[in-house]
Structure 1
């Protein structure tokens, strides 16, 4: 599955980097890993291959979970490799409780790129399934533990491909559908709306299926269908909202939303005065440190302040602890507003400095961008998207 800037992830851990792509594990994936091992060791393998020792089932469960992990990574790598070949930057791959996602920095530029990226994952999963089944055939004389685990990996890769090809956005099948509609209608927004609505409807179906399973006693299976349905409904709505936001802000430089002459901190400001006169007074977590002649010395944040013991604050100045302003908190006036919003979202910040050649020009805030979005969507896209943006504005205050 591919995804844009998503809010579904919590804390992520980098596990390795391969072919230029960083692979992360979201903390929620550990829950999936434990559940997969448990369900294989206590359910699938004992039912499919009775008579083995209990410890053997657990080793098969661990091996099956590791094989599934590698299969999902390879599936997502296929999306990322096709994207890079087509000139689309990718931020990396993240594994989370519902599988994996190749994180895109922007939407595909055309329907053909979307189709090629989307179809790559299921094709690779089918190929992996065939390979595992061939290995199972070649190892037919080996132990049941080995052949059983390999057979499971063949089955699960085919199942992964089939499920992902369901035309429910943002699953791969939903993206294939969007590519088809996009090519036919020549309208990405309309194609995304249709695919997202189908994704939301399929999510509702899974929720209902999960509820029925719970009622008839299959609690664990029912809860999984229920949670996957909730995820699909949320992800489909979020994907369409992200597209609306991107289309509304695309091509708009941050200088259009910039507030000139922001509050700045002189380098000679004592840290005690920095706390009382700036952090507590203006309620920002980061301030630009600027000389009298307008030279941007650096940025000082609450994180920088916490490095200095409280009893030493009166001895030090803002200029002494200021860090160099960088891409995580500073943009140029020409920076696209979409990129600025992405940096704020990824960094958990509510504003960015706007500077050029070590001269501070102003600040751009999340609230300013969201207010513009609210007005534009009110005039162009209807009340549903507007209500979501207004909720975001309230949260940014």
Structure 2
């Protein structure tokens, strides 16, 4: 059977927020393109998140410029609302998206620029390829995890609600936004929860009547181009759950959650923790207070009449788990029947067989423009700046990448024009 090959200028892989944003900018500039998605538009928001998840930024902030959420702008959109939003956004400009198509293999063309893209629906030959598959591809459970046995172990990507877990206490490993929100939900559902807390930042949900997203904006912190030295892998604990509130680990401990340090190893039924709980909490507090200080200074310098909030600096008394932290826990004796690993994701580019990655498999790029000619990345954290991790940041990153594709069109058109001008009909040549 003869192979079906389709030629198209630009192909976008993935129809989540990054793919939809890229398609909008390509459409605006009239660049021929197609978006391929193996599931539904924004499917990861529907199936790769727990039931009660809401966006970490308020609706006025966590959106694309061209469409508002149909809700209170100061509220936090649920995961289904977010997925529906991207479907509506794609319809708004009639995005050329094909769903149910999996990209299996991409290789560089031979003898010409661009790429050969093999999919479940045929082969494409393209000039430009945009990888918009995002950072949340392969859930990572670290090698220290105990062998399969009586404990139920799942990654946070596969946690949906407390009812799916067996009765008993739960150990949550990882205290970024996912880990702390899941741990708090389980505690409020009546479970005994042990939360393993590593290094983290914890901004206030709001301060002096303004959301932390607003404060990071006016302070210029969204535009930081690289993480602070030593904080490349530090997680951020922030929550929009139940209307939004500041994550305070010390208050969670007062409410009955048992905090422990970084999980170190499992030996039989016992788990050992590093002796770093207090230093991790202190560093998180310092990060929190530094943003309050910066906000106060900005308000004073700019004469903003914002309400004072002295209660934001109040510190509750430390619970016993903080004053005398556990270094070891017998899971069986403690009644722990489940472990939830909120330990992040790895990226899978096995389908992208192009020389564009470092020795660790990380994309080599500058603001999304790959080291491989014609290849681009959108939707990665810190792609261009701190704001890249938020929905609106993805939209701006996509604009930059598409502008680079448009620039390549101009250079190619110039080259083609020069070659066409060089072919002069014989009858016009003077002898």
Larger relative helix fraction: 1
TM-score range for the pair, normalised by the shorter chain length: under 0.3
Q: Which has the higher contact order (CA 8 A, sep 6+)?
A: 2
Larger relative strand fraction: 2
Task: Tell me the TM-score normalized by structure 1.
Answer: 0.22
Task: Tell me the TM-score normalized by structure 2.
Answer: 0.21
